[in-house]
Structure 1
Amino acid sequence: MIPFSILDLAPITEGGDAGQSFRNTLALAQHAERWGYHRYWLAEHHGMPGIASAATAVLIGHVAAGTRTIRVGAGGIMLPNHSPLVIAEQFGTLEALFPGRIDLGLGRAPGSDPATARALRRDLASDPDAFPRDVLELMDYFSSEPRLGVRAVPGTGLEVPLWILGSSTFGAQLAAALGLPFAFASHFAPASLMQALDLYRARFKPSVRLERPYVMLGFNVFAADTDAEARFLATSTQQAFVNLRSGRPTRLPPPVDGYRERLGPQEQALLGQILACCATGGPETVARGLEEFIERTGADELMITSQIFDPAARLRSYELTAGLRG
């Protein structure tokens, strides 16, 4: 079985706060390390009442300091929000503190609404070449002999592993052109998955960083001891997506019996599209879902996300999933 990793969206639950979210994150990372997960990623989001990982590099440092061997990284840093030099310094610092354990995934979305993006001092003008330029600039800061005349200290010469993230064919083409690994956000935007994979694999150019294509795919898992319990736990994420797409983002709500069955056709279709890459059920059901997805996509690695309200149930979901690797 291929490696399994974790994408933790650091959920803030109804009745909880960011401090509790961070404690839950560290506990999950420590368990994940013992269960054999390969890497543990956190994602940059801003202005989201249910996601606590806005200061992504700070939280990565917290998780790395509380673990010993698991790789820890960003899935991802939304590079248009930042100066590439600042990101090189932040992740150079992390790599210096935790050598050989830090990953840096890069995305081009703002990870926020337009008003929040402006508050981040982000230029909202559309320039399709800006993100590739920023990635190249960042790669230069990490190189042993930077050409730009500016040094990232720490950062220069550390060669922090870079990934390109995407939910469309744009990221696939960029990752292929630069010879970088590609992580696709199929856990919430699966529509272009197969087209993006085909493009990435067909156009991949080997580089000093990577000899052959390598894809990691986001995948939702809601695992429990029974199918019924897993379907119940999954309703928290279902509510969160419906609320978000309705323009009223909330903290992660508690599960509700029969939630999905009570939704109208529009909401049913929305969840069917968003959660197309998902396995919900007991161990046998989830195992079948994982095997089918891996066979269909040829994924080299899965990035598992389990947005579950109860921390103990979330741990159990990840524990059961880890046991399916055989």
Structure 2
Amino acid sequence: MATIRRIGILTSGGDAPGMNAAIRAVTRAAIFSGMEVKGIMRGYKGLISDEIETFNSSSVSNIIQQGGTILKTARSKEFMTPEGRQIAYDTLVREGIDALVVIGGDGSLTGAKLFAQEYNFPIVGLPGTIDNDLSGTDMTIGYDTALNTIMEAVDKIRDTASSHERLFFIEVMGRECGYLAINGAIATGAEAAIIPEMAYEKDQLGELISQGFRKSKNSSLVLVTEGDITGGAMAMAERMKNEYPQYDVRVSILGHVQRGGSPSASDRILASRMGAAAVDALNEGQRNVMIGIENDKIVYVPFSKAIKKNKPFNDDLMNTLRILSI
């Protein structure tokens, strides 16, 4: 296998706190290993339009504490086409880039998998997504910070919920993955979480009511994962008003505030470890793998496993929430 002399780094998809820490770690670990580094702006879109900058150690100084991504991120419909991927490959060849590190979520790594297969190009992925929905890793970059943001917001909502004796449905991100909702509910002492993993098995709201929801409490909080599977907080509130008009119902959608903010210590450390491991993986000849962490150990996860969208859900979390919400 040819020696890798120059690597490219890009961030793609939704931004996540800790992406900058990962960029910093990849850059400095690569330089430490004697490689040159190119920063690719705006994800796959920048790869097609040749928005590429030379990175050195000072390029990533003083960014570990910053949210978002200094490389920016954007969607690229063109990269979804064979013609677009050909342009991207031609750019890599022209820039002398021998390997890529892609930081992003399911969609980003799906694109990386396809590109790597088509052009036999070395790519290592880092799981950068607040949803924590990638298989093969206990934690994704950005998840811990987003969870803490949710906790802080819900703590504040509880104050007003208690003052007015209201039921709040609070919508959090996650789409097809309920980890933010369930762990957010446990962390804030919420009464329940409505998550996509349970949506096809039972009527979560109906079961909640039938079990004597609220009892003697003067306020209640229910965290709901966004998206079509659960229907989101608005749909839950509308149904509640129609079927149980005795409740004073309100909705709060946390939205993109969950993506922002300075990354937590946990996310900075995770991103740093994974970024350095990505360079190690390339030096070892790995390709088509995502860097994961399992039981506090770095692991290499094939893209095909990481993006299956079947990350096992820990049922103990739901049982813990049920017990503690009495």
Query: Could you state the TM-score of these two structures normalised by the residue count of structure 1?
Result: 0.26
Query: Could you state the TM-score of these two structures normalised by the residue count of structure 2?
Result: 0.26
